[in-house]
Structure 1
């Protein structure tokens, strides 16, 4: 009963915050009166607070540009986790564009939507991402192409790493930087999570969004760690498959370390 009351109040909190911030974000985008990411960060933080998710950060996003962040992917909440403390744009599956609320918010964040199952469009999509990188946007690639269970990582797909190659042929210069980022949900109500409890955070495959959202709202009190690795220089002569494989190795190592030794870090 208490959990249901908490969930109801949290939803009301998010609804009121969204009603205030979305019109302001539209105005900011049209007029340029303030940075477009300022209000987005505020909304992400508001949503995380409602969900009871605390973010702990180890390392920091690189200041080098052009920059592509290569991350593992566990839940739809990963976007809020990363977006709550950095100015980012995301690469997301095309289905997200049609989702109520989340699709609209994704468009406000200038998300690049990709059709992962249509290989003929991969070059065009990589080209759009390359253009954004060349323009100075930091792009987040959830490189597994799907969400994992929070315990093990799926292999990284190399296709969209081709955006880094295409950026080299554009206005990006001779080097694009790829920074590995690991996300790990590590604690529930302050206690280290076991394999079974990580399913509270994980949103896998075709799970329905609403039941998962409700479970998170009722449960609350999750801790998530974000670990930034050293950026890798990607230049001519390095293949996208090589870059994907190296990034996967680094992200997997950071994720497993966080799961074995949940320690927090500074709070984002």
Structure 2
């Protein structure tokens, strides 16, 4: 996960999203006293959950159910409710899970449905609170400014897939606001091809209570973690929709696999030019 203005390397994906995208998702927050109570309750729940984080590292029966429950509660502490739809979640080992990338919140949104190891920017390990969670969840760090390490990361993902672990990656390579999106980069799909393991695409979208698209959860441009958290916990409620798409077999061509998964995640919208808004 990365804010798209961090690096200047021409190869690295960059989103066209900026602060205007965040303002497009503004919503009424309510009376100041109600907002203060809302923030206090959510902050208390978040602190309690962070204190219980080490429990996630304990090997135990039903650990995946515990992780899903933890992620759902963490979403609740941020003012986010989750809705899951689509196909069944198959109980397979060694699955690469992919989705579009809007925010660091995606980690909990995906984890509430299919928990696993995440491929995330190395800096995340140093974030307050979330860094501990990242280490316990055995995040596979990627240094986006050091492209020479990319084959090593792909190899690490393939190794975990062969070992039967679920790995989650965001093939866009950077965050977008949720109204616009970027192409799926094929690099991470090479791990599924090498390991001969299937890919599970998930379609993530964030909404207001009335169902309209929301950018409140977006983490883009010059945004900071604290300002991103503040937007979410101040708002009345945000919904994340997770739609489970059809499982994709790896095949032998990572570009074909990436294209199939992008088509599954975008649906009809994949025929539009990348970077254009999905909705008016």
TM-aligned CA distance change 1:39 to 1:64, over 3 Å: closer
Residues 40 and 109, structure 1, Cα contact 8 Å, conserved in 2: no
Q: How does 1:1-268 map to 2 (within 5 A)?
A: 1=32, 2-19=34-51, 21-26=52-57, 28=58, 32-59=59-86, 60-167=88-195, 175-186=196-207, 188=208, 190-194=209-213, 198-235=214-251, 238-253=252-267
- Structure 2: runs of 5+ lacking an equivalent: 1-31, 271-277
Aligned length: 239
Helix, strand or coil: the match of 1:179?
Answer: strand
TM-aligned CA distance change 1:64 to 1:255, over 3 Å: farther
Residues 74 and 203, structure 1, Cα contact 8 Å, conserved in 2: yes
TM-score using structure 2 length: 0.78
Residues 51 and 220, structure 1, Cα contact 8 Å, conserved in 2: no
Alpha-carbon offset, residue 56 of structure 1:
1.0
Question: Deviations 1:87-135 (Å, cap 9, x if unpaired)?
Answer: 3221111121111111110111111111233221111111110110011
Alpha-carbon offset, residue 155 of structure 1:
0.8
TM-score using structure 1 length: 0.81
Alpha-carbon offset, residue 211 of structure 1:
1.2
